[in-house]
Copies of this chain bind each other. A is one copy, B any other.
């Protein structure tokens, strides 16, 4: 659809800028003025692309929510529990690394959670986060397992977006996050051999 036009470009630059500022100041701590200033345009220009701030927030979060949805669906299609967990965990970690700051934001910022829950129908525990945790922990998990999975889910997402690792390349970060996730879930290493 006529990709690459000035309009599309400004829109996507706007979303990139919004994500950056959201992760620095939180959604509520980021004003449309800040976004406009960062882009070198005016606040009114922002309103040309999005009707409300919530619409920006939703557009920022949407791609990751949809990817998570797909990973969960793919995992459910696998036969063994072991394969389901492996697929969900590695898909989740890959998404975290590809979208560094977004997943941490989604796991901690009340502003983005409010919008996401409203935008992507989440009646009673049926939101993406809850379903992902269900895939990793199983049907009726023990409290210990539920908590371990929760720690993995939240910890990985927050750490992946941490500025401390901004300089680490994607492959390295993904390997280490995956290893941490497997260790906490009590799963055997994917690649044995070297290292203790």
Expressed in whole angstroms, the Cα–Cα distance for A25 and B186 within the complex equals 34
A90 at the interface (CB under 8 A from B): no
**Which residues from B are CB-within-8-Å of A24?**
110
Instruction: Kindly provide the distance from the CB of A141 to the nearest chain B CB, expressed in whole angstroms.
Output: 12
Within the complex, the shortest CB–CB distance from A101 to chain B, in Å, comes to 12
Q: B143 touching A176 by the CB < 8 A rule?
A: yes
Question: Once bound together, how far apart are the Cα atoms of A158 and B150, in whole Å?
Answer: 9
CA distance A14 to B44 in the complex (A): 39
Chain A 17-37, CB within 8 Å of chain B: the 1/0 string? 000000011111100000000
A174 CB, nearest partner CB in chain B, Å: 11
Chain B nearest Cβ from A135, distance in angstroms? 17
Tell me, yes or no, whether A41 is within 8 Å of chain B by CB.
Answer: no
Interface residue stretch chosen among A58-66, A73-81, A177-185:
A177-185
CB <8 Å contact, B179 and A150: no
**Structural contact, A159 and B165, CB atoms closer than 8 A:** no
Q: Is A91 an interface residue (CB 8 A)?
A: no
Does A168 lie at the interface of the complex (its beta carbon under 8 Å from any beta carbon of B)?
yes
Q: Please tell me if A152 contacts chain B, counting CB pairs below 8 Å.
A: yes
Q: Are B151 and A155 in contact (CB under 8 A)?
A: yes
With an 8 A cutoff between CB atoms, is A99 at the interface? no
- From B144, B154, B179, B180, A158 is in contact (CB under 8 Å) with B154
- Specify which chain B residues have a CB less than 8 angstroms from the CB of A104 in the assembled complex: 108
- A residues contacting B by CB (< 8 A) are 24-29, 104, 107-111, 143-144, 147-148, 150-156, 158-159, 162, 164-165, 168, 172-173, 176-177, 179-180, 183-184, 186
5 contacts between A and B (CB under 8 A): A24-B110, A107-B158, A108-B158, A143-B168, A150-B164
Contacts beyond the supplied A107-B158, A143-B172, A147-B177: 12 A-B pairs with Cβ under 8 Å? A26-B26, A26-B28, A108-B109, A143-B168, A144-B176, A144-B179, A147-B176, A151-B152, A151-B155, A151-B180, A155-B156, A158-B158
